[in-house]
């Protein structure tokens, strides 16, 4: 095991169970269009290998059938690479953690079946992990014992991805309370759809982010929702963006080309404002000033800057994940699996994958 590598120190995140020795976990993530495998030893990440699927770019979104086929092709080499890079033999594994849901059923089934087959052949326990819980616990991924500081419980987490926009009160690694969530589109979904309307391709998030850095965020105004409590809504913004664009294009057929930076910056600002307003309210009402952000949209520079700004203005202690742990990855499934391993919280071989939250 490569425990002497710079990133793979030997000290444990939490002491292993007495008499248990090293806890070595292989984690597998396949909920959408990334096939990822990671290996952790005593809570320290040894490797994290991800194969992304370029096949969907031509379709402007993830095509489920193509995603599951690509997972089938990728899973063996990805797991193999993760074990090799970690310097771990199959026989050294203590357990296999896998994403059980939510996600695309066909994609999930590849990872779930692979994890079950491998665990059964090695005679080791299986640990089922909720993908969303994994995103939140990505803040506990350690590449070395003296790694960045981590939130203490309770903390608030803004989880923003292509499928979710939630404010979560995290009481412990297994006790998470959803204070609010989107009632229609997710923030990432809204960004992707607006980007598609602008002809910028899929996924739109990184492109919008890049263009927004060169644009004027106050150039255009789009509708903001008026929803009670901590819930979000992004479908009205999407419609407002679409209708505004349609009107502007009547006067100038090259409107998008002429204004794409300002459009991206104004769209990003509107989404960040919507997200931060509810989060500020949640911080105020709960009195919890440790605030984390997670999920694919947490890679967004405008959102990251807003977090830094709130830290300065309101004294929040903020937690922003490394870019590599914002989008789907097996390292977050591994750290969640590690916590569950310490609790001996294993699952049976017949635990089915689930596409949606209600099991």
Q: Rounded to the nearest whole angstrom, what is the least distance from the CB of residue 170 to ligand KG4 in the complex?
A: 17
143 touching ligand KG4, by CB under 6 A:
no
97 binds ligand KG4 (CB under 6 A): no
Least separation, in Å, of the C-beta of 18 and ligand KG4?
A: 37
Q: Is the dihedral of CA 38, 39, 44, 49 positive or negative?
A: negative
Q: Contact, 353 vs 108, CB < 8 A? A: yes
Candidates 35-43, 93-101, 161-169, 343-351 — which segment interacts with ligand KG4 by CB under 6 A? 161-169
Phi, psi at 34, each rounded to 5°: -120, 130
Which of 106, 111, 125, 296 lies at the binding interface for ligand KG4 (CB under 6 A)? 296
Whole-angstrom distance, CA of residue 346 vs CA of residue 338: 11
Which range binds ligand KG4 by CB under 6 A, 9-17, 65-73, 187-195, 258-266? 187-195
Q: Which of 48, 11, 17 is nearest to 144 (CA)?
A: 11
Strand order in the sheet with 44-52: 44-52, 34-41, 24-29, 95-101, 126-130
Site residues (CB under 6 A) for ligand KG4, limited to 3-22: none
328 binds ligand KG4 (CB under 6 A): yes
Structure tokens at 251: 């006067």
C-beta closer to ligand KG4: residue 60 or 236:
60
Q: Does 125 bind ligand KG4 (CB under 6 A)?
A: no
Among 60, 61, 201, 206, contact with ligand KG4 (rule: CB under 6 A) = 206
**Residue selected from 16, 101, 188, 334 as contacting ligand KG4 according to rule CB under 6 A:** 188
Nearest to 293 by CA among 163, 101, 138, 171: 138
Q: Tell me which of 327, 331, 341, 347 binds ligand KG4, using CB under 6 A.
A: 327
Choice between 24 and 211, CB closer to ligand KG4: 211
Q: Where are the alpha helices (DSSP H) in the chain?
A: 64-86, 105-122, 131-137, 187-197, 204-212, 235-251, 255-286, 301-314, 330-342
Rg (CA), the chain: 21
Closest CA to 78 of 50, 56, 118, 97: 50
**Is residue 299 part of the contact set for ligand KG4 (CB under 6 A)?**
yes
Q: Could you tell me which stretch among 36-44, 89-97, 185-193, 216-224 binds ligand KG4 (CB under 6 A)?
A: 185-193
Please identify which residue in 27, 96, 126, 191 interacts with ligand KG4, judged by CB under 6 A. Answer: 191
User: Is the CB of 83 or the CB of 191 nearer to ligand KG4?
Assistant: 191
- Which one of 101, 134, 162, 215 is in contact with ligand KG4 (CB under 6 A)? 162
As a dihedral over the C-alpha atoms of residue 101, residue 104, residue 106, residue 110, rounded to 10 degrees, the angle is -50
Query: What is the contact surface with ligand KG4 in residues (CB under 6 A)?
Result: 32, 161-163, 188, 191-192, 203-206, 209, 295-297, 299-300, 327-328
């Amino acid at each position: 095991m490569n425990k002497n590598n710079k990133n793979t120190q030997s000290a444990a995140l939490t002491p292993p169970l007495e008499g248990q020795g090293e806890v070595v976990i292989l984690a597998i993530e396949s909920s959408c269009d990334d096939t990822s495998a990671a290996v952790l030893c005593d809570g320290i990440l040894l490797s994290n290998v991800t194969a992304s699927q370029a096949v969907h770019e031509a379709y402007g979104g993830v095509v489920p059938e193509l995603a599951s086929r690509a997972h089938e092709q990728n899973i063996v080499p990805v797991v193999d690479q993760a074990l090799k890079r970690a310097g771990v033999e199959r026989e050294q594994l203590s357990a296999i953690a896998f994403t059980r849901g939510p996600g695309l059923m066909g994609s999930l089934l590849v990872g779930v079946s692979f994890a079950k087959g491998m665990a059964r052949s090695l005679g080791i326990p299986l640990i089922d992990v909720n993908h969303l819980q994994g995103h939140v616990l990505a803040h506990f991924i350690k590449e070395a014992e003296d790694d960045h500081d981590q939130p203490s419980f309770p903390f608030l987490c803004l989880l923003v991805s292509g499928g979710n926009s939630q404010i979560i009160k995290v009481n412990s690694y297994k006790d998470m309370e959803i204070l609010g969530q989107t009632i229609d589109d997710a923030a990432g979904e809204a960004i992707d759809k607006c980007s598609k309307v602008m002809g910028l391709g899929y996924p739109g998030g990184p492109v919008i982010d890049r263009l927004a850095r060169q644009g004027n965020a106050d150039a255009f105004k789009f509708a903001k929702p008026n929803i009670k409590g901590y819930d979000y809504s992004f479908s009205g913004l999407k419609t407002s963006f679409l209708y505004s664009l349609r009107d502007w294009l009547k006067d100038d057929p090259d409107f998008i080309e002429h204004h794409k930076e300002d459009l991206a910056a104004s769209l990003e600002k509107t989404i960040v404002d919507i997200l931060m307003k509810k989060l500020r309210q949640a911080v105020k009402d709960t009195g919890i000033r440790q605030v984390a952000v997670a999920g694919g949209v947490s890679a967004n520079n405008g959102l990251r800057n807003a977090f830094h700004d709130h830290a300065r203005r309101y004294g929040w202690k903020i937690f922003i994940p490394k870019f590599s742990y914002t989008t789907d990855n097996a390292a977050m499934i591994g750290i969640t699996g590690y916590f569950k391993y310490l609790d001996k919280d294993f699952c049976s071989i017949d635990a089915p994958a689930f596409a949606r939250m209600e099991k």
